[in-house]
Amino acid sequence: MKKTYRLENLDCAHCAAKMEEKAKKERGVLSLQVNFLMQTMQLEAADAEFADVEARVLKVCRKIEPDCKIKG
């Protein structure tokens, strides 16, 4: 399953790169891309475990950039 999220208040490209780098390492992530210019994040994970993977990825991203609102 793939899902695209809108990122609001993502302030810098460096933070976007850090979010992508750390979130990609989460167990179950098949692919993940953060696009700073488009203010989007695309996550792909297996359907059966998508909700669990999504929760972990969002937690990692919020830890790196607490002011960023992630809307799916």
**pLDDT tens, position by position, for the chain (72 residues)?**
999 999 999 989 999 999 999 999 999 999 999 999 999 999 999 999 999 999 999 999 999 999 999 998
- The CA–CA distances, whole Å, from 21 to 16, 33, 48, 60 equal 9, 9, 24, 10
- The end-to-end CA distance of the chain, in Å, is 13
pLDDT at 72: 87
pLDDT at 44: 98
Domain architecture of the chain: domains with CATH: 2-71 (3.30.70.100)
pLDDT at 34: 97
